[in-house]
Structure 1
Amino acid sequence: MHLHPDTALTDTPDGSVLLNRRTGRYWQVNRTGTHTLDRLLAGESADRIAADLAARYDIDAARVRADIAKMTDNLLAAGLVESP
């Protein structure tokens, strides 16, 4: 996964903001979402990220994996990221 060429990513104190420069629409992502997105953009698998977050926060890995899939689907649908 990588950012769409028309996407600007800016860190904020609360996470990050992704701006679709074609549409002017933006998404705000919290700190955990930013951490997850950074790892996905670096090529790490969603399953590995989910396992790490589940262990760190003592929550169900399947739930985390579902949340990651939903975030990824939403970012793809918004044209902010692309999948090879």
Structure 2
Amino acid sequence: MKVTITLRGTLRKYFGEDKERVYDVPEGCTCDEALKIAGLDYKKIKNFGFVSINNKRVMIYDKLQEGDLLKAFSKVSGG
């Protein structure tokens, strides 16, 4: 199945010039697995924040469906 992955905030650098990429992932794929397919080991990214599916914040182990938009966000800081 195909899903679109978009990186937000400081994570954008991992996709270079691309704003988003479409990946072919297996049925029942989780956000965690999809990010790994995209070459992102989020556990090793210090400023990784959270993910959303179709603009709804979800858990990293939630499953994706055909055509979903997965967004990964960096941590937000300020003061």
Q: TM-score, normalised by structure 2?
A: 0.28
Q: TM-score, normalised by structure 1?
A: 0.27
Specify the structure having the higher radius of gyration (Cα): 1
Q: Which has the higher strand share?
A: 2
